[in-house]
Amino acid sequence: MFDSGLDSPPDPSIVRGVEVSEATRALAAQLGPNLHLGTSSWFFPGWTGIVYANAMDSRVLAREGLRAYSAHPLLRAASIDRSYYSPLDREVYEAYASQVPDDFRFTVKAPAECTTPWLRGSSGEPAGENPRFLDPDYAYEAFVRPAYEGLGAKCGPLLFQFPPQGRMALRNPKQFGERLYRFLTRLPRVPLYAIEVRDSPLLTDTYVEALRGAGARHCLSVHPKAGALHDQTDVLAVLGPGPLVARWNLNPAHTYEEAKERYAPFDRLLQEDPASRSVLAAVAARALQAGQPVHVVVNNKAEGSAPLSIFKLAEEIRERLRQP
């Protein structure tokens, strides 16, 4: 008899997404097309049963997991983090874009060379000034151009994450803002640029004017070194209407390494942060009600499992949208 193959078991070598409930699909539909929630990278075997239906090695998920990941209706974004450590070619971005639907958006981290003012020696010690720090020509050729051209319409925020800048920058925060303005205004205006700062004293009026003048956005960052969320929302208020970019990076109770050790394999919420969730939900709902696109990236180190954090955040955003 002819075997149609309809009852054949699924190919175990192909990454498959979990079955999603109708309630989850309804939630995604209620949140609308302007909301892009996603995780910081996507290749975690511990997400089996949460995002992925079958267990896979992290290398397989990194290479082939995006198609299954992006099939989940609440995961309509992802952050490409590996570009922070080394620039990626256009072809790499094209391969990522080919795996996801048209309404999916990537947040992409700029190489650390763009945002770190000094070079590091083999042991991590400062080894002189970094000539590529805030160099717009290098940023364009190594980052902006390949990311924007490779991802095309699926390119979301291009993120410049500034680690702690050192005592000299903190003594003269106005100078940082002025230099940031010169950098941003020499880049093309088409992509959405987002700036994440890990020194709260640098969030000055000059910083806000630099972003406003360049059409860039402050990235709301949940991180112990980024300053209180309420202070950052004040920056957003002064900056004025525009797309919302946010990153729920790290639980304030831990360092990055502590959270990584405590939360692995990232398959459950181990230390919820309802205060941060509430602020993120509130600002996201306000932006959506104003018709603005919203891009929120969540890290496993925020509460223990980034997808589970997203599912709870999505529910709270819906509740906020229902309020007058």
* 9 occurs within a structural domain: no
Residue 201 has pLDDT above 60, yes or no: yes
Nearest Cα to Cα of residue 144 among 198, 181, 100, 183? 183
Question: How does the average pLDDT of the chain come out, rounded?
Answer: 94
* 294 occurs within a structural domain: yes
The per-residue pLDDT for 128 is 86
- At 172 the three-state DSSP class reads coil
Residue 127 has pLDDT above 90, yes or no: no
Confidence of residue 7 (pLDDT cuts 50, 70, 90): low
Confidence of residue 8 (pLDDT cuts 50, 70, 90): low
What does the alpha-carbon distance between residue 43 and residue 65 come to, in Å, rounded to a whole number?
Answer: 7
Confidence of residue 299 (pLDDT cuts 50, 70, 90): very high
Pairing of strands 105-109, 118-120: unpaired
What does the alpha-carbon distance between residue 67 and residue 100 come to, in Å, rounded to a whole number?
Answer: 6
What does the alpha-carbon distance between residue 43 and residue 61 come to, in Å, rounded to a whole number?
Answer: 5
Cβ atoms of 317 and 59 within 8 Å: the answer is: no
The rounded percent of the chain whose pLDDT value lies above 70 is 95
What's the half-sphere exposure (Cβ side, CA atoms, 13 Å) at 291? Answer: 0
Q: How many domains does the chain have?
A: 1
Specify the CATH number for the domain of residue 267.
3.20.20.410
* 119 occurs within a structural domain: yes
Tokens of 83: 């570009």
One-letter amino acid at 211 equals: L
Cβ atoms of 15 and 61 within 8 Å: the answer is: yes
Average pLDDT estimate for 29-46:
98
Task: Give, for 275, the enclosing helix (H) or strand (E).
Answer: helix 274-289
Cβ atoms of 53 and 273 within 8 Å: the answer is: no
Tokens of 30: 């209620």
Confidence of residue 115 (pLDDT cuts 50, 70, 90): very high
DSSP-assigned letters across all residues of 10-30: PPTTS--BPP--HHHHHHHHH
* 160 occurs within a structural domain: yes
* 12 occurs within a structural domain: no
What is the CB neighbour count within 10 angstroms for residue 251?
Answer: 25
Residue 4 has pLDDT above 50, yes or no: no
* 22 occurs within a structural domain: no
Question: In this predicted model, what pLDDT tens digit does every residue of 38-97 receive, in sequence order?
Answer: 999 999 999 999 999 999 999 999 999 999 999 999 999 999 999 999 999 999 999 999
Q: What is the pTM assigned to this prediction?
A: 0.94
Q: What is the DSSP letter of 52?
A: B
Tokens of 120: 């590091």
β-bridge mates for residue 42, sequence order: none
The per-residue pLDDT for 76 is 98
Tokens of 67: 């198609």
Confidence of residue 13 (pLDDT cuts 50, 70, 90): confident
What is the CB neighbour count within 10 angstroms for residue 163?
Answer: 14
* 4 occurs within a structural domain: no
Torsions phi, psi for 194 (to 5 deg): -125, 140
Domain that holds residue 134: 31-322
| Burial class, 277, CB count within 10 angstroms (exposed 0-12 / middle 13-18 / buried 19+) | buried
* 25 occurs within a structural domain: no
